[in-house]
Amino acid sequence: MKIQILGTGCPKCKKLAEMTEKAAHDLNIDYELEKVTDIKDIMSFGVIGTPGLVVDGKVLLAGRVPTENALKDLLRNEIK
């Protein structure tokens, strides 16, 4: 699973990255995490508000940091 965190490095973006790594670890997901920080690259996903969460090219979340349980649910739904 390829997980991308979209954000310029703000505290919310860092928080989402930390939470995502923990959630993926807790769910025992084999993943690769990439932080996308360039505004043009972020906008190419159609995301205007950060932070954003992309899994395997699909935008799952934008503009907010979810609860831990909601984040786990998002990731769990993308496990193939």
Q: What is the pTM of this model?
A: 0.94
Whether residue 30 contacts residue 1, with contact meaning beta carbons closer than 8 Å, is answered with yes
- Structural domains in the chain, sorted by start: 2-78 (3.40.30.10)
HSE of 52 in the Cβ direction (CA atoms, 13 Å)? 26
pLDDT given at position 18: 97
Residue 50 catalytic?
A: no
**13, 23, 24, 71: which is the annotated catalytic residue?**
13
pLDDT given at position 32: 97
Whether residue 47 contacts residue 60, with contact meaning beta carbons closer than 8 Å, is answered with no
- Measured CA to CA, the distance from residue 29 to residue 47 in angstroms comes to 25
Instruction: Of 8, 9, 15, give the one whose Cα is nearest residue 64.
Output: 15
**Tens digits of pLDDT across the chain (80 residues):** 999 999 999 999 999 999 999 999 999 999 999 999 999 999 999 998 999 999 999 999 999 999 999 999 999 999 87
One-letter amino acid for residue 11 of the chain: P
Residue 56 catalytic?
A: no
